[in-house]
Amino acid sequence: LPSGLTLNPATGAISGAALQGGIFNFTIRATDANGCIGANPYTLTVLAAGANIPTLDPRSLSILAALLAAMGLYAVSRFRS
């Protein structure tokens, strides 16, 4: 992550204010209670460093993701009709 941002390992929330703009590639790796390991690469684009950009807590983010997914499913089902 760019300087100024941190990832909370317990919640997955990224917080803080980026100190520089740009494109940042990072990988999140996790191990579950059974020892299974997973990893996913991500790209984060920071347009305005240091700006007061509102953030979402993990619950709000999951609700937003569910709503966006539902909108996509609605659009696909409507397109197929």
What are the pLDDT digits (tens) for 1-52?
788 888 887 777 888 888 888 888 888 788 888 888 888 888 888 876 655 5
Residue 68 pLDDT exceeds 80: no
- Residue 37 to residues 6, 30, 40, Cα–Cα distance (Å): 21, 6, 11
Residue 76 pLDDT exceeds 70: no
Residue 59 pLDDT exceeds 70: yes
- At residue 41, the pLDDT reads 87
b/e code 37-59 from CB counts within 10 Å (16+ = b):
eeeeeeeeebeeeeeeeeeeeee
